[in-house]
Structure 1
Amino acid sequence: LNTLILYKSRAALQGKFTLLRDTRTDGSFLVHHFLSFYLRAGCKVCFVALLQSFSHYNIIAQKLGVSLTAARERGQLVFLEGLKSCLDLLFGEESESGQPGPLQFISESASNLKALFDFVRTSLTPTDSDSWQGPVLLVDDLSVLLSLGAAPVAVLDFIHYCRVTVCSQLKGNIVVLVHSNEDSEDEENELVVNSLCHHSDLILWVEGLATGFCKDVHGEIKIIKRVSLELTAEQDHVQIYQYKIQDKNVTFFARGLSAAVL
């Protein structure tokens, strides 16, 4: 995947916003790829995990040769377990620090994601003792914030402030996964997805096959490099591949060139 999007190191995408978008399929394999990639590159990672538990991500990361437990213990990984945080808020559990939880907006009337932004900023702001290569914010998945009651404007404001802090000030990277369905009646989610597409430096859009399920081809990935953001006369670069997910890796190939077909 790194070869397809033409970067071999963290520095190649410094200060960039990458949008992972999936339609009619599960694009979480991209989240696992970027999580293991940035941890191996020695980056400080703040992972806002709203979809699955820590143990789920850790099991898959171990298959990819990375231990999330070890990364968290040495301070390289800051992990927000959204499922646990939501339950603590709903059942009135106090946080260990006594401070408002990052997902405090769930129990408030106002849709304010300031506490979540403060959590990200505090987690990624380097200290004198830090020796990490650079900060990375990873979100899986942003659509969950809407389901929890956050307004689209609040979600977009949160991403905007994160971009200013992580990408512009700290010269780090942001990777965000969103689910989308162009035929959906969920107008709020589509508003957020379309807005993020306009502001992304790189879009990895995975879709299920229009012809239905196939055991040898699991979907299509569209790689969109937003050259137009650089105010040049060039159009965005678009590449389309098909892929097959295996136990420990993913195989990419040109459309119609699956090993099963050939």
Structure 2
Amino acid sequence: MSTATMLLPFDLPNRSTFLVTDELFSPADFIIHSHVAAQAKDRSYRCLIVSMLPDVSRWKAIAAKSKLNIAEKVASGSITFIDVLPLIRPSRGEDSPRLHDLFDAVSSNLSRFNSEDSDVILDGISSLQWMGIPSKDVVRFHRAVRGLCRKFGSTLLIRHHVVTPTQPDDVFRMLLQLCTYHIDVRPLASGRSGAVSGEVTLYFGPSTRLIQGVQGNRRLQYRLSDNSAVFFERGMAGGIL
């Protein structure tokens, strides 16, 4: 089993909880997809993706840029998708969606992974709030999934879309308390340029111990190309990491 998970541009310990935040003008697809593409090179790797998307077409399109054949990985059982929407529809006699069936689906799929190298990705589950699920239930769901990942020794990646960066909501504040590492992807304050697409910053979670070789609160700039991202220190757009 590997000792680090390739969450570009940082090498961090696996079996951790990663909160990846992004904004409308700086989506973090390149962080998540590069991670999955790197990990999927190992045949023992298993990944459970809990996605708000109604199908996997967007994942397939983005993954293709990283030379990752999603359809092939799904067919082999390396990658499993859970479609959220059918699982959270209100039952007869109920007024609002519930998360019990979604949690059961995550639990049953994760228990079938016969691997010591696995990920659970909650992709854009902040959308649950927009569908009327109370913040406390969303946080409870995340906490329960984190418990499952600890039980099975899996790495948990949570992507949270930040709508109002200057006014963080309750779910965002709670997720910060739950994560081991927080990776924040933001656009440049001055606007996107040809040389720099945005910034990505690594923060330690509240209870994270300092780890040798891992520099906390590190900020890098990045530039996106058609099929990859390059990273560099601020003010060094020509120097690629």
1:195 and 2:174 are equivalent in the alignment = yes
Which structure has more helix as a fraction of its residues?
1
Deviation at 1:191, TM superposition (A): 0.9
1:238 and 2:223 are equivalent in the alignment = no
Q: Which residue of 2 aligns with 1:18?
A: 18
- Give a deviation string over 1:121-173, Cα, whole Å, max 9, x none: 1111036xx3x33331112102111111211111101011101111x210111
Q: Which residue of 2 aligns with 1:102?
A: 87
- Unmatched tracts of structure 1, length 5 or more: 87-100
- Give a deviation string over 1:173-211, Cα, whole Å, max 9, x none: 110111112235xx7xx1111110121111110111111
1:57 and 2:62 are equivalent in the alignment = no
Aligned-residue Cα RMSD (Å) equals 2.4
Q: Which residue of 1 aligns with 2:11?
A: 6
Paired residue total? 226
Among the aligned pairs, what percent are the same residue?
19
Alignment of 1:209-220 (within 5 A): 209-220=188-199
How far apart in 1 are the matches of 2:91 and 2:218? 39
How far apart in 1 are the matches of 2:193 and 2:91? 40
1:137 and 2:120 are equivalent in the alignment = yes
Give the TM-score of the pair, scaled to structure 2.
0.84
- Unmatched tracts of structure 2, length 5 or more: 1-5
Q: 2:166 aligns with which of 178, 183, 188?
A: 183
Are the structure 2 counterparts of residues 212 and 30 from structure 1 closer, same or farther at C-alpha, using a change threshold of 3 Å? same
Kept in 2: contact 1:104–1:115 (CA 8 A): no
Deviation at 1:4, TM superposition (A): 4.2
Q: Which amino acid aligns with 1:191?
A: D
1:169 and 2:151 are equivalent in the alignment = yes
Q: 2:138 aligns with which of 141, 155, 159?
A: 155
Q: 1:72 aligns with which of 71, 74, 86?
A: 74
How far apart in 1 are the matches of 2:189 and 2:8? 26
Secondary structure of 1:217's counterpart equals coil
How far apart in 2 are the matches of 1:182 and 1:120? 30
Larger Cα-atom Rg: 1
Q: Which amino acid aligns with 1:252?
A: F
Deviation at 1:116, TM superposition (A): 0.6
Kept in 2: contact 1:202–1:223 (CA 8 A): yes
Moved more, 30-39 or 154-163: 30-39
Deviation at 1:51, TM superposition (A): 3.9
